[in-house]
Amino acid sequence: MTINIIGESGESGLKILDNEENNFERNKVDVFGVQTPDLGKLQKINIGHDNSEFGASWFLDKVIITNQKTQEVTY
């Protein structure tokens, strides 16, 4: 799974979303850390996968992005 976060000042580039859990399962909350330069006010995200792994189906309800420096939350 990958994400690209786009803001007024640029974009993050493609970042891999992975942690030590079984990610993107039904009724589960996944948390990922992604380091980016300051992107300014967030405008949109592109999130997806290439369908290449076994059981590549996934369940995405919403994305919440928190700027760890300012604590600003974007839904």
Low-confidence winner among 24-28, 34-38, 51-55, 66-70 (lowest mean pLDDT) = 51-55
pTM of the model: 0.81
Look at residue 56 in the predicted model and tell me its pLDDT: 62
Q: Cα 26–63–42 angle (5° rounding)?
A: 170
Whether 25 contacts 66, CB under 8 Å = no
Tell me: pLDDT of 40 over 70: yes
